[in-house]
Structure 1
Amino acid sequence: MRDDFMSMVSLNTLFLETQVRKLHLGKGNMALFSPERLTAMIERDQRQIQNMVRLIDDMLDVTRMRSGALSIQPKPMDLAALTRNVGESFAHQAEAAGSTTEAHAPRQLEGVWDEFRIEQVLSNLLTDALRYGGGGPVEIHLQEDEDDGGERVARLCVRDHGMDIAPEDLARIFEQFERTDDSRRRAAGLGLGLYITRQIVLAHEGRIGVDSAQGEGALFTVRLPLAPAT
């Protein structure tokens, strides 16, 4: 119900803004539609549409997760290439946030994962890092590693240098609708992104965690098995 309500609010807000613009046009108030103002309107509309699309996608994913119907289609892929491509695709968003993204990855790191879903994981982590990173650089690191049991894994890290996460919040931010008090003050959101991210990682038999120290931002680490699940 909460998701449905927020979705309807977003859609109605965009609809009302469109109707107000039509009203001004009908009255001949052309000064409101100068090139500069039109550019700002278009950019704002694009952000609202992107936010609504993401909200709808998140709602659909949560519904699938609750019913056990989330689609995971693992295929051979190069995680290093994906990491570089996603990092580059966030350049404009980083610039708008006064930040930069830096991707550090080997030439190639192949495994068997669902490329669409892993891109979703990385995109969610980068979005949050830019949103709460305070304009500092966001770093992405990918490398082959071993877990505690000696299993070969791909270790993907996203670090920001913004606000830290209190120790008591480190676990609960991966639950549905959970957000820290600081994150609520800084940006709007439903608290679904990290929940979805964790469920996707678990569906790949991987792990995700976060470390944060006062004044040092947050470091999210994803570990994905390199060997296909049996």
Structure 2
Amino acid sequence: MILIVDDSPENIISLKKVLEKNGFEVDTALSGEEALRKILKKSYVLIILDVQMPGMDGFEVAEAITGYSKAKETAIIFLSAASANVNLITRSYSSGGLDYISKPVDMNILLLKVKTFYRIYEQSRALHEMQIELRKEIEFRKEAEQKKDEFISVASHELKTPMTTIKGYIQLLERSLDTNNMDVVKNRLHKVQNQVEKLNLLIADLLDISKIESGKLQFNKKYFSFDQLIDQIIEPMQQANPGVKIIKKNKINEDVYGDEMRLEQVIINFISNAIKYAPETAEIVINSEVRGNEIYFSVQDYGIGMTEEHRQKIFEKFYRIEETSSRFQGLGIGLYICQEIIDRHLGKLGVNSKLHEGSEFYFQIPLHPEKVEN
């Protein structure tokens, strides 16, 4: 918007008519005082300001608005009927003006200047927006680089831990073989096997994250018994964790269409996390049921829970809750991979949680995704 400030109504009418005819939005003020009141309330791209006015002259108005935040990007063109002399022109620029036109005004020259200032304003605004976006992009690169460095550090530590443990048990195994104590040998072999399995899961997660990044995570979808899959998962996990009672609620009698191996990966992740992050709890509850045209599956624990802030970020890549990172191992990519798997099943994944009261991780997937896709 353009503000015309002139104590002569005739001058304002003629300038306003020409500018509006050329597509510009125009506001007017008949005095410097009125102009200041309007500038405090509105933002203007350009002010066409008469120099010689009763009360506040144009120079005083220009000097007064230089400190206004609303007017700091506003261009000022001075108009004056007085003959142009060096002192007048010098004061025009020192007062904050960007240009000077003598009266009577040549409308063609004025329009040319107005269009030029508008073009400069649009270019300046576009440049400013580009700078803002560039700053955001730079901050996102910095954050991504920091996360990558943290992930490499954590991954190195997580991979090194089971390797060191395996090495230690192998050394103990060698000594046990010398004593021919088979019970000790079996116990230590079992512990080595657990560490190898942990290492295998870490490597599998690293491979999956690489496949997701490259768009090569493969899926083999078909109909299968969801309830049978749950039973196959619960049995060995219950045996491996006798201190926690895994309670199964409900039963799904329908076959589900999806990648059985990938959904098994999600379910195991949910149950493993429930056991890991609820070390004091005596039980976890697994629920699966048909809700409308969807399968709903959830794992409820009664462990440490999490705050709303962590709940919003828990499925982000490399995200680990700072307060628990020293107590619980992990790369911060398991739930991110689960999110990708459920997304590829046209489903939804989420968590309900309260600090110190436990968490319920869940997913919903369509029973017949071909109907959703169509």
Bin of the TM-score, shorter chain as denominator length: 0.7 to 0.9
Task: Give me the whole-angstrom Cα distance separating, in 2, the residues matched to 1:87 and 1:20.
Answer: 33
| 1:198 corresponds to | 339
Residue in structure 2 matching 1:82, options 229, 236, 253: 229
Contact 2:306 2:356 in 1 (8 A): no
Q: Please list every run of at least 4 consecutive aligned residues from structure 1 whose deviation after the TM superposition is greater than 6 angstroms.
A: none
| 2:294 corresponds to | 153
Task: Give me the whole-angstrom Cα distance separating, in 2, the residues matched to 1:43 and 1:135.
Answer: 25
How far does residue 179 in structure 1 lie from its aligned partner after superposition? 1.5
1:103 to 2:248 alignment: yes
TM-score with structure 1 setting the length: 0.84
SS in 1 for 2:257: strand
User: Any stretches of 5+ residues in structure 1 without a counterpart?
Assistant: 147-151
Task: Give me the whole-angstrom Cα distance separating, in 2, the residues matched to 1:160 and 1:190.
Answer: 21
1:187 to 2:187 alignment: no
How far does residue 214 in structure 1 lie from its aligned partner after superposition? 3.4
Contact 2:166 2:195 in 1 (8 A): no
Task: Give me the whole-angstrom Cα distance separating, in 2, the residues matched to 1:20 and 1:68.
Answer: 42
Change (3 A) 1:160 1:29: closer
How far does residue 14 in structure 1 lie from its aligned partner after superposition? 4.9
Contact 1:83 1:105 in 2 (8 A): no
Contact 2:158 2:330 in 1 (8 A): no
Q: CA RMSD in A?
A: 2.5
Contact 2:166 2:196 in 1 (8 A): no
Residue in structure 1 matching 2:270, options 125, 147, 152: 125
User: Any stretches of 5+ residues in structure 2 without a counterpart?
Assistant: 1-151
How far does residue 15 in structure 1 lie from its aligned partner after superposition? 6.1
1:221 to 2:362 alignment: yes
Contact 2:155 2:331 in 1 (8 A): no
How far does residue 137 in structure 1 lie from its aligned partner after superposition? 0.6
Residue in structure 2 matching 1:9, options 156, 160, 184: 160
SS in 2 for 1:185: coil
Residue deviations 1:156-215 (CA, integer Å, cap 9, x gap): 011001111111001211122212134323321111211111111111111110011233
Residue deviations 1:106-149 (CA, integer Å, cap 9, x gap): 25132210001011110000000011122321111001114xxx
1:62 to 2:213 alignment: no
Q: Which has the higher contact order (CA 8 A, sep 6+)?
A: 1
How far does residue 21 in structure 1 lie from its aligned partner after superposition? 4.2
Task: Give me the whole-angstrom Cα distance separating, in 1, the residues matched to 2:228 and 2:369.
Answer: 19
| 1:171 corresponds to | 312
Which one has a bigger Cα radius of gyration?
A: 2
* The 10-residue stretch of structure 1 (156-165 or 38-47) with the greater mean CA deviation from structure 2: 38-47
Task: Give me the whole-angstrom Cα distance separating, in 2, the residues matched to 1:18 and 1:180.
Answer: 31
Task: Give me the whole-angstrom Cα distance separating, in 1, the residues matched to 2:321 and 2:355.
Answer: 15
Contact 2:169 2:188 in 1 (8 A): no
| 1:137 corresponds to | 283
The aligned amino acid for 1:126 is I
Aligned length: 219
Task: Give me the whole-angstrom Cα distance separating, in 1, the residues matched to 2:210 and 2:154.
Answer: 11
Task: Give me the whole-angstrom Cα distance separating, in 2, the residues matched to 1:101 and 1:123.
Answer: 12
* The 10-residue stretch of structure 1 (195-204 or 212-221) with the greater mean CA deviation from structure 2: 212-221
| 2:92 corresponds to | none
| 1:112 corresponds to | 257
Residue deviations 1:49-91 (CA, integer Å, cap 9, x gap): 0110001111111110000110111101121221222122311
* The 10-residue stretch of structure 1 (155-164 or 74-83) with the greater mean CA deviation from structure 2: 74-83
SS in 1 for 2:314: helix
How far does residue 17 in structure 1 lie from its aligned partner after superposition? 2.4
* The 10-residue stretch of structure 1 (126-135 or 48-57) with the greater mean CA deviation from structure 2: 126-135
TM-score with structure 2 setting the length: 0.53
* The 10-residue stretch of structure 1 (121-130 or 74-83) with the greater mean CA deviation from structure 2: 74-83
